[in-house]
Amino acid sequence: MSPQPRCDRTAAWAALAGHFEAHGRGLDLREAFARDPGRFDALSLQAPEVFADLSKNLLDAATLRFLLDLARECGLETRRDALLAGEPVNTTEGRAVLHTALRAPRGMAAPTPAINAEVHSVLDAMLHYAETVRDTARSGITDVVNIGIGGSDLGPRMAVLALDAFVQPGLRLHFVSNVDGHDLARVLRGLDARRTLFIVASKTFTTQETMANAHAARAWFDAEGGTDRAAHFVGVTTNLQAAAQFGITRTFGFWDWVGGRYSMWSAIGLPIAIAIGAANFRALLDGAHAMDRHFATAPLERNLPVLLGLLDVWYRNFHRCASRSVAPYHQGLERLPAYLQQLEMESNGKGVDLAGEPLPYGTSPVVWGEPGTNGQHAYFQMLHQGTDVIPVEFIAVRTPTHTLAGQHAKLLANCLAQGQALMQGKSADEALRERAPTASATLAPEVLARHRTFPGNRPSTTLLLEALSPRALGALVAMYEHRVFTSGALWGVNSFDQWGVELGKALCTALLPRLESGDAQGLDGSTAGLLHRLRAGSAPT
Ligand code: F6P
């Protein structure tokens, strides 16, 4: 693939900057809706399983036109096609990036028949094994502990919670990621070694945290009188040799073209498959594949991941928004913000372009959030009245799986109300006309009204799912993956490496023996001081 222009070196970028100064900065959502009764219809779309209302974003038809020009000038379609064809788009590691191949239906020729056959052979074996574990009467397994971190934890953990309604009763799934022994110790408490299956999930099988937990789990298993380790430890890795050295005989492999944060569709999804079963796991893959097709074929102006990625660029580089808040109005999506933190920030948190040149503009925003109603009673204050404008992404699900009367309507009303409040705001006059619920005896009414004013015109996107089914979750997550690809492609970064995690790992390896020995020679003053304080018994009084 020939190099594509970087976003800031295009004519569309300059045009967008002019448009932002002339119209974008001053766009008022309330006026835009008043002027155009068709705004909702024009700026909402149905993608596979995901309906998106983009109409409460700070854009108009011209903004969209300029953003689409930018995408075309940056060669987004060429870059997308190169990704899907298996070209080595991860240039710093010389690798293809083919998570889409993991959910391609059996027999699909792309990217190659051989890859498709390999993927389905591992998938079949993994799902067959998952079904044998689920047959608890025969397997004797009641508790499954996934040991992994980052991409080997966040996807399965998020999905098992999200699909709780589909989890086989009587099976408990646990996730251990932290090298902090409190994590594993808490999970092991109350487990019966004879009824526990450990999945050691690590692409590299070298990650310190995972290896430490795997060794500790194995020691616990032996100490608890566990027998037949081979039946109680299973590996998921590309490093089959290291898994064998650890003593694992049953291993499900995957490939170096699967990035850790894009791996929940591979054998890394084993805990999901055990939890929800083979048919549901296949539905998860089908949903993701439907979104892949949408991303590959829908025109850019009706392509949901593309539009979301373009909005990310618009907010980050023109409105200068440093963060985006994700507010799922479904308890099952509790871990989605954490999952997205790795997906988005590890992918696009980069400071140089593909040629290694420092970037003169911002890349990944900080992505953060909590289930919506909980956030409302914590940080939404800042979203409504703080000094920073933070685009919010609401996710709502129309049909719940519980039958508790009245609660779902309340949840949905909360979701709608927050988007409405962010946009609508409340003027000082309106605040003055209202009677404050707790009127201050000391403040003049005008002063109090200013505290009770909401600026409004704060942007949000609302994503709607019909139900939180495996298929819908698959489509939703694939949508996020392609959105990250889109913004990363425009920013001209390599969204598929993660060199930024390496330095800390190396320094940790060097510090570990110093914690034992107390040797602080050559360390900076702060690290040396902290090391001395942390060494048992050596803290100064
Ligand atoms: O944090 C860096 C990272 O390499 C992630 O990209 C990855 O998902 C995680 O560590 C876990 O790696 P592994 O699956 O090799 O244990």
Q: What is the pLDDT of residue 1?
A: 61
* 505 classed as catalytic: yes
Amino acid at 220: W
Residue 474, ligand 1, Cβ within 6 A: no
Query: Given the CA of residue 263, which atom of ligand 1 is nearest to it?
Result: 8
Pair 320, 25: CB distance under 8 Å: no
DSSP assignment of 357-410: PBPSS--SPEEEE--HHHHHTTTHHHHHHSSS---EEEEEEEE-S---TTHHHH
Q: What is the best residue among 99, 204, 342, 503 to mutate for testing ligand 1's pocket, by most ligand atoms within 8 Å of CB?
A: 204
* 49 classed as catalytic: no
Enclosing H/E stretch for 51 = strand 50-53
Scan for tokens 């009467």, then name that residue.
137
Check 49, 344, 346, 393 and give the catalytic one: 346
Q: Looking at the predicted structure, is the pLDDT value of residue 129 above 50?
A: yes
* 393 classed as catalytic: no
Residue 158 alpha carbon to ligand 1 centre in Å: 16
Q: Looking at the predicted structure, is the pLDDT value of residue 360 above 50?
A: yes
Residue 354 exposed, middle or buried by CB count within 10 Å (0-12, 13-18, 19+):
middle
Q: What is the pLDDT of residue 372?
A: 93
Residue 331, ligand 1, Cβ within 6 A: no
Q: What is the pLDDT of residue 436?
A: 63
Residue 152, ligand 1, Cβ within 6 A: yes
Per residue in 222-251, pLDDT tens? 999 999 999 999 999 999 999 999 999 999
Q: What is the pLDDT of residue 4?
A: 87
Average pLDDT, the chain: 96
Reported as a pLDDT band with limits 50, 70 and 90, residue 2 is: low
Q: How many residues comprise the chain?
A: 541
Residue 79 alpha carbon to ligand 1 centre in Å: 25
Residue 258, ligand 1, Cβ within 6 A: no
Check 215, 410, 451, 505 and give the catalytic one: 505
Residues of the chain with CATH 3.40.50.10490: 7-73+298-424+462-496, 100-283
Q: What is the pLDDT of residue 325?
A: 98
Per residue in 29-53, pLDDT tens? 999 999 999 999 999 999 999 999 9
Of the candidates 487, 461, 333, the one whose C-alpha atom is nearest the C-alpha of residue 394 is: 461
Q: Looking at the predicted structure, is the pLDDT value of residue 484 above 80?
A: yes
Q: Looking at the predicted structure, is the pLDDT value of residue 209 above 50?
A: yes
Q: What is the pLDDT of residue 538?
A: 56
Residue 149, ligand 1, Cβ within 6 A: yes
What's the CA gap between 157 and 333, in Å, rounded?
10
> Structurally, what CATH architecture does the domain formed by 7-73+298-424+462-496 represent?
3-Layer(aba) Sandwich (3.40)
Q: What is the pLDDT of residue 120?
A: 98
Residue 150, ligand 1, Cβ within 6 A: yes
Atom 16 (ligand 1): residue with closest C-alpha? Answer: 202
Q: How far, CA to CA in Å, does 27 sit from each of 21, 56, 420?
A: 10, 11, 17
What's the CA gap between 274 and 190, in Å, rounded?
21
Reported as a pLDDT band with limits 50, 70 and 90, residue 438 is: low
Cα first-last separation, the chain: 63
Q: Looking at the predicted structure, is the pLDDT value of residue 541 above 50?
A: no
DSSP bridge pairs for 462: 53, 394
Atom 3 (ligand 1): residue with closest C-alpha? Answer: 150
pTM recorded for the entire structure: 0.97
Residue 202, ligand 1, Cβ within 6 A: yes
**CATH superfamily, with its number, for domain 100-283:** Glucose-6-phosphate isomerase like protein; domain 1 (3.40.50.10490)
| DSSP 3-state percent helix, strand, coil across the chain (nearest 5) | 55, 10, 35
Query: Which is more confident, 536 or 478?
Result: 478
